[in-house]
Chains A and B, each alone.
Chain A
């Protein structure tokens, strides 16, 4: 079982819809990252969070440390939001807390 599980694997939405992507993990973490990868493109860091909630424009990320769960929300989705969204966690264990463990990603397609 992967230490980081994302759902759904694939998501298709209509422009304007509210999107939620979920991430569950099984290890103690010091931080969780949400990353975005456009087709054929590089990876961009969207959020790094260790508690609570962060908001950038139409994107909101939340994390519940007790439940080992994070969500990425996109409000008023747009076709340019189409990308793979990747959840990654940074282990809390002292010796290797620089390492990230990645989920397999959620492919989001937003149709006009």
Chain B
């Protein structure tokens, strides 16, 4: 597609359930980022994928969070056993090249954990 696509745009779930958030980056972009934006907070880095290199997972807040990127394209962020503090907007961004490229953001997935 023309831009970064994320789904679902909104997700309401119950505490303890697992959720999957999907990001489809711009075709040809080798770098993909996941960020989290909590209410009133700045963007928080979660994970970075660059081509076939091992991802930088240093921003993942706990082992309940994981992400994968299949075939160097689509990425899925999985949150297991969701907690109320996981409620936030999860943003995906991609760029042509990770260290120098302009970032293109998706519209985000708003997660609400009841």
Contact = CB atoms under 8 A, between A and B. Distances in A.
A102 B103 CA distance: 13
B25 interface: no
A43 interface: yes
Given A96-B56, A98-B48, A98-B50, A42 B42 contact: no
Given A48-B102, A102-B42, A42 B48 contact: no
A43 B48 CA distance: 18
A110 interface: no
- Identify which of A42, A88, A99, A103 gathers the most chain B CB atoms within 10 Å of its CB: A42
Interface string B39-81: 0011101001010000010000000000000000000000000
The majority secondary structure among interface residues of chain A is: strand
Interface of A: 2, 30-31, 33, 35, 41-45, 48, 86, 88, 90, 96-100, 102-105
22 contacts: A2-B42, A30-B99, A30-B100, A35-B105, A43-B91, A43-B93, A43-B105, A45-B105, A86-B42, A86-B43, A96-B56, A97-B99, A98-B50, A98-B99, A99-B56, A100-B33, A100-B43, A100-B45, A100-B103, A102-B43, A103-B42, A105-B42
Interface of B: 31, 33, 41-43, 45, 48, 50, 56, 91, 93, 98-100, 102-108
